[in-house]
Structure 1
Amino acid sequence: MSGIWSALTGSGSSKKESSPSTPAPEPTYTAPVPTAYETPTAPTTSSFLSDSLLLDPAALHPLAGLDKGLDYVSLADDLGFGTASGPVGQRSWSDDLCYGTGTTYLCALTLGGIWGLSEGLKKELPVASGKLRLNTVLNAVTRRGPFLGNSAGVIALVYNGIASTVGAVRGKHDAAGGILSGALAGMLFKSTRGVRPMLIAGGMTAGAAGVWQVVKGAYFVEED
């Protein structure tokens, strides 16, 4: 009965509420202890070039021969040499075509320019004027230079083509083949002007080819 009465009147709960409560324990804070660690470093050049990182050249491709020494280029003895002063291999027909035509064109262009300069300076003018003299000289240079350069360049182009063909047919390149090629080139160049200009041009180019053969034999001695 006392328990029921206490529940109805609430006397028991008031006693429990009035009783002092036990204080909760305060949390304790522990400072973290710093731990020692290594500072990260960036990779250097020496680390990349260390022996452990180097690749084996032979492992890249076994047939490449990268683990062997250098092979120096050796010139073949049967190809012939252009000069006796050094190991310069003989040029092919395409090299002779390009170098011969270009050299002949530039030399003839220079000679034509000198010819035009002399002609322009010697020409008499109706009025003594510096501008008129300069104009006359420029006209003469631009007329004679390209004319002589273009003509000689075409003849050299035809000469080298015929010389290569003659040499391939005969199996050798000598002075006779060069003179014959020069005569044929000159005759072909003037073939539209008639027989007489064709023979004159053939004789002139044959003589020039003969002079070139003498110069080449004296300064560009070919080895056997």
Structure 2
Amino acid sequence: MSSFSSNTYDYQSSPNQFGTDPVAVSDFLARVNLGPGQLREIAGLGAVDYLRLDEQVVTPGALPSRGGFDDLCYGTGTTYLAGLTFGGVWGLMEGLHGHSPNFKLRLNTILNSVTRRGPFIGNSCGILAMGYNTINGTIGSIRGKHDSVNSIASGALIGLLFKSTGIYFSTKS
């Protein structure tokens, strides 16, 4: 029975089974010259249009915007994250004020409070921001301009919609 340690075959300097010298990956890749035009041709894409942010129309204001979807994604995401953070801190404070006899129960109380408050506040804020940005974009496209009137109207409408569900469910029971 032979062992692998007694085999001192040099793979780098000897020819392979086909009688040719072995080719390293770096040698192969050095011969390949694919530019952007060749890659587009291989992929069958033809001409590729690139996103040029400096040429896009940006609405002026305190927070410049590139459009409704940009506002929707940015506004909803940041508001959700802010609500999640605020709710997590609220849950942390609530959990720290609880009185538990030992460390494990106190840690469990803190974690339960953080996971109860954080996602609830974050989701609520995210839904409100999504509704606000959707209404704001719709009003802006209907009116043809984006100004503070759109913001005030969309804030009032989403607030009205948010409070109307609370009134409906409180009178239902």
Same fold (TM over 0.5): yes
Give per-residue Cα distances to partners, 1:191-213, cap 9 Å, x unaligned.
Answer: 22218x9xxxxxxxxxxxxxxxx
Deviates more, 1:138-147 or 1:91-100: 91-100
Mark the CA change 1:177 to 1:150 in structure 2 (over 3 Å): closer, same or farther: same
Residue 110 of structure 1 corresponds to which residue in structure 2? 85
Q: 2:55 aligns with which of 54, 75, 97?
A: 75
User: Quick one: which amino acid aligns to residue 129 of structure 1?
Assistant: N
Q: 1:122 aligns with which of 94, 97, 102?
A: 97
> Unaligned stretches of 5+ in structure 1?
1-71, 198-224
Deviation at 1:181, TM superposition (A): 0.5
TM-score normalised per structure 1: 0.47
Do 1:82 and 1:91's aligned partners in 2 also have CA atoms closer than 8 Å? no
Q: 1:183 aligns with which of 150, 156, 159?
A: 156
Work out which of the two has the higher radius of gyration on C-alpha atoms and give 1 or 2: 1
Q: 2:127 aligns with which of 137, 154, 171?
A: 154
Measure, in 1, the Cα distance between the counterparts of 2:150 and 2:84. 27
Deviation at 1:74, TM superposition (A): 6.5
Measure, in 2, the Cα distance between the counterparts of 1:115 and 1:93. 32
Matched-pair identity in %: 56
RMSD of Structure 2 on Structure 1 (CA): 3.0
Which secondary structure state, in structure 2, belongs to the residue aligned with residue 91 of structure 1?
coil
Measure, in 2, the Cα distance between the counterparts of 1:144 and 1:73. 38
Measure, in 2, the Cα distance between the counterparts of 1:121 and 1:74. 49
Aligned residue runs from structure 1 range 15-164, under 5 A = 75=55, 79-80=57-58, 90-125=65-100, 128-164=101-137
Deviation at 1:149, TM superposition (A): 0.3
The number of residues matched between the two structures is 120
Measure, in 1, the Cα distance between the counterparts of 2:65 and 2:90. 35
Measure, in 2, the Cα distance between the counterparts of 1:162 and 1:94. 12
TM-score normalised per structure 2: 0.60
